[in-house]
A = this chain, B = another copy of it.
Amino acid sequence: MREATGRSMNRIITIGREFGSGGREVGKRLSEALGIAYYDREIVEEIAKRTQLAEEYVHQIVEHQPKLQYPITIGHTLHAGGSDYLLRQQAAVFAEQATVLREMAEKSDCVIVGRCADYILRESAPLRLFVYADMEARMARCREKAPEAEELTDRQLRRRIREVDRHRARYYTYYTGKTWGARENYDLAINTTSISPKEAAEMLLHLLR
């Protein structure tokens, strides 16, 4: 951790993205070309889990507690409580991930895909990108990327894409109070309907160099 005297001056790039828009690929390509760290949902969740596991472990030893008091991640099956419990747990997971993001952003330059990073890291003045595309283009990209999408009809795939985005929008609004994808929350929004994620990344690299 750095001294608390100054804000991180690292280059932080956050990417919000519609499902199937290739935003994740854009982020990976940017991080590779710039030679900086890359974090997405899976990575952030994994780090948060490990951090919390480690803390729980220390806690157990210190307190001599034989059993964890509550499940560690939202991935686990709940073994207690109602919706209030669930909300508290989700808030705890979000807070843990936010801490991880802030630590990562303090450590080095990085690209972060998703996780409301644009909002969580707002005081580090990240470059906030949003990647999106028309439904047709996103369906085509999904079919290309994921063999399991082959079994879905167009209608099912369209519904699935909308579902994922609805979830993202809700998650974003819940934790930020803002509208996911609304232009005021981003510095640059880029449409990947007619260009590939590779081309989008190349365009962005021109801006960033």
**Which residues of A does B touch, CB under 8 Å?**
125, 130, 132, 134, 181, 183-184, 186-191, 194, 203, 206-207
Tell whether, in the assembled complex, residue A188 and residue B186 are in contact, meaning their CB atoms are under 8 Å apart: no
Q: Which 4 A-B pairs have the closest CB atoms?
A: A206-B206, A189-B189, A187-B191, A203-B207
Tell whether, in the assembled complex, residue A188 and residue B187 are in contact, meaning their CB atoms are under 8 Å apart: no
| Neighbour of A206 across the interface among B130, B191, B194, B207, CB < 8 A | B207
Residues of B within 8 A of A188 (CB): 188-191
| Neighbour of A207 across the interface among B125, B134, B186, B207, CB < 8 A | B207
| Neighbour of A132 across the interface among B125, B181, B184, CB < 8 A | B184
A194 nearest CB across to chain B (Å): 7
Residues of B within 8 A of A189 (CB): 183, 186, 188-190
For A184, give the chain B residue with the smallest CB separation.
Answer: B134
Residues of B within 8 A of A181 (CB): 183
Q: State in angstroms the CA–CA spacing of A92 and B20 once bound together.
A: 41
Residue from A130, A183, A184, A194 with most neighbouring chain B CB atoms (10 Å): A183
